[in-house]
Amino acid sequence: MDSIVYSTTGLIHLIFSILAMILGAIVIFSKKGTDRHKKIGYAYAVSMVVCIATAFMIYRLFNGWGIFHYMAVVSSLSLIFGLVPAILRRPEKSWIGLHFGFMYWSVVGLYAAFISETITRTRITDMTTFSVILFIYFGLCSFFFQKQMKVWKATFMSTETT
């Protein structure tokens, strides 16, 4: 059986990935705008920064730059575009929606990376199976996002006080 971790960088990546998945889930499913939400959210962001940074240092799977590196770039952008509006509280009328949207998809992307990594490590090479699994996952996440966005808009975006 292959090892799960091949280097210190891989171990750090694994630890912070798991931490980010736990923290990201807590933030998504807990009450928004509280001090707890903000603290856990910043811990998620730090975990993601370490996870993304170490992702750029791992080349074993493809012996060079691969699809997971491109996804790490996308992940970096979703994290930045989710954090900056919340930190700056700009643009004034839409920062909450931007924050919710980009941070939600940041967590969804993290779990998609987990699913993809798991499929890759279990040697499922059939692209149809791989695509169907991710299609179902993103479909469910989109459905949940649409449902939750209504709740978030009713709670936060009508007052813009958080």
Residues 47-63 have pLDDT tens digits of: 999 999 999 998 876 77
Evaluate if residue 160 carries a pLDDT over 60: no
| Residues contacting residue 131 through CB under 8 Å, at least 6 positions apart | none
Output the pTM of the full model: 0.84
93 pLDDT exceeds 70? yes
Residue 106 and residue 108: Cα distance in Å, rounded?
5
Amino acid at 159: T
Query: Above 50 in pLDDT, residue 1?
Result: no
